[in-house]
Amino acid sequence: MKIANLVNRRTFTKGLAGMAIATTALTALTFGARAETNLRLAVPDPIGSSVGVAATRFAELVKEKTGGEVTVDVFPDGVLFGGDQNAAVNQLGSGALDGLILASSVYASFEPRMNAISLPYLFSNYGQLQSYLRGKPGKELLGSLDKLGVKGLGFFLRTFRDVTTRDTPITKLEDFKGITIRTPNNPLFVALFQKLGANPTPMAFSEVYSALQLKAIDGQENPVEVPLHNRFYEVQGQLNLTQHIADSFLIALSGQAWDRIPEDHRAEVQAAADEMIAEHDANEIATEEKIIDELQEKGMKVNRFADGELARVQKVARSIYPQFKEQIGADFVDESLAFVDADKASGAKTGQ
């Protein structure tokens, strides 16, 4: 009887030990699963570009704030979406892409209100653009992505868009006449350059360098860091500081990827996006002149509008507002114009 009790106690002890080991293993598997929450973030430009640096910083901050339980791998140069930016938005909505950073002007093909950001010469300075993106209009635009199955984390600014050309300097309104300029596949951009007298040619960004090289187009328009990091200075001789349109980058996750993030880490991922955006914006504005100088060093001639010409160009450019009011949404256009006017008035009162 004593031997039987001893055997039973030993069996019971082994059973407890086995349960403890199993519990430990299950706990390890649980934490291991959390540690394996990995997101693949696609960006359209090289890793050393403004957007590539922003993506890398976001990945660092996510890892830091979540203790490594959520990680982000950055894939530059549009490799995850074949360079087709419209296709990338579709892939993000379907969950085929976990995360994406793209220009807000690309999203305008899916959410027309995004075009409000790019109304030509709407913003006079970067402070106004930042106020807009972080204020009520920007929050409304982020919320509009829900219907696409996309979780918008925030906007970060790009410097204003400028035109590069092969040979033709642009210093007055008439200089736009007849120039073939690549634009995004966005009706607002096309209408603007048609109104200015140019020949806008929508084209996938991945095709731009070869089209410039083969002289199929005369020029393109983008923030100045784009011709620098994509080596357009090799096939373009003129940098024209037209500053015609504001744009922004939008960092977003698919709804499915957002749901995969442990609920107690979602606020930390959002905080990582917010911190990256604040850092990026300050750096972007500070480096614009440095980039212009660097492009000049690489052989590009820098051109600015002659006296009185900016006002002429602005008048023509803003004449397309009524054309897009219905497409964007009359109420949202009015809200945007009122917001910017109020911000301008506030800046004037405070001496900014």
* 292-317 pLDDT per residue, tens: 999 999 999 999 999 999 999 999 99
Percent of the chain with pLDDT over 90: 81
**Residue 24 scores a pLDDT above 50:** no
The pLDDT value given to residue 31:
41
Min mean pLDDT across 14-18, 114-118, 183-187, 196-200 is at 14-18
The pLDDT value given to residue 336:
96
**Residue 5 scores a pLDDT above 80:** no
**Residue 95 scores a pLDDT above 50:** yes
The pLDDT value given to residue 343:
87
Ordered domains of the chain (ranges, CATH)? 36-158+247-289 (3.40.190.170), 162-245+291-350 (3.40.190.170)
Distance CA(241)–CA(259), nearest Å, equals 43
Q: What is the pLDDT of residues 188-231, one digit of tens each?
A: 999 999 999 999 999 988 899 999 999 999 999 999 999 998 99
Which of 42-51, 192-201, 320-329 has maximum average pLDDT?
192-201
B/e letters for 286-304, b = 16+ CB within 10 Å, e = fewer, are eebeebbeebeeeebeebe
**Residue 35 scores a pLDDT above 60:** no
CB 53 within 8 A of CB 76: no
| pLDDT confidence bin for 105, thresholds 50/70/90 | confident
Distance CA(76)–CA(56), nearest Å, equals 10
From the list 74, 75, 68, 80, the residue with the least C-alpha distance to 56 is 74
**Residue 19 scores a pLDDT above 80:** no
**Residue 26 scores a pLDDT above 70:** no
The pLDDT value given to residue 25:
40
Q: Which comes out higher in pLDDT, residue 185 or 20?
A: 185
From the list 346, 229, 246, 197, the residue with the least C-alpha distance to 295 is 229
pTM: 0.82
The pLDDT value given to residue 12:
43
B/e letters for 157-193, b = 16+ CB within 10 Å, e = fewer, are bbbbbbbbbbebebeebebbeebbbbbbbbbbbbbbb
